[in-house]
């Protein structure tokens, strides 16, 4: 499996802006072929231990059946539309890709 985790920091980190990005993730990213698991949401405010990275607003988590389906997702028209529609709202994006056993 391939785990694709993306953490978005937004220029406007209001609840409305966060919810808009979550809605966009669900609309444009949730139904790609090869997805085994999809979730997105906001930072959990009450988990504030020293080891918690809190420099983000919305997290996206997708598990693909393999790297090939992840690679197809990256060039898919819906993924590209999601990026085009939302990239101006992002102050910072961090991507973590993991091969999971």
pTM over 0.85: yes
3-state secondary structure of 83: helix
Please give the pLDDT value at position 77.
97
Chain segment 13-68, per-residue pLDDT in tens: 999 999 999 999 999 999 999 999 999 999 998 988 998 889 999 999 999 999 99
Please give the pLDDT value at position 66.
96
Domains annotated for the chain, with CATH where assigned, are: 2-45+55-99 (3.30.70.100)
pLDDT tier, 101 (very low <50, low <70, confident <90, very high otherwise)? confident
């Amino acid at each position: 499996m391939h785990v694709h985790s993306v953490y978005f920091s937004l220029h406007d980190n209001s609840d409305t802006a966060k919810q808009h990005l979550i809605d966009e993730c669900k609309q444009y990213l949730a139904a790609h072929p090869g997805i085994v698991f999809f979730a997105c949401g906001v930072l959990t405010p009450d988990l504030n231990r020293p080891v918690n990275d809190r420099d983000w607003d919305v997290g996206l988590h997708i598990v693909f059946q393999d790297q090939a389906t992840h690679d197809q997702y990256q060039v898919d028209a819906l993924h590209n539309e999601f990026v085009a529609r939302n990239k101006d709202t992002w102050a910072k994006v961090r991507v973590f890709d993991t091969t999971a056993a």
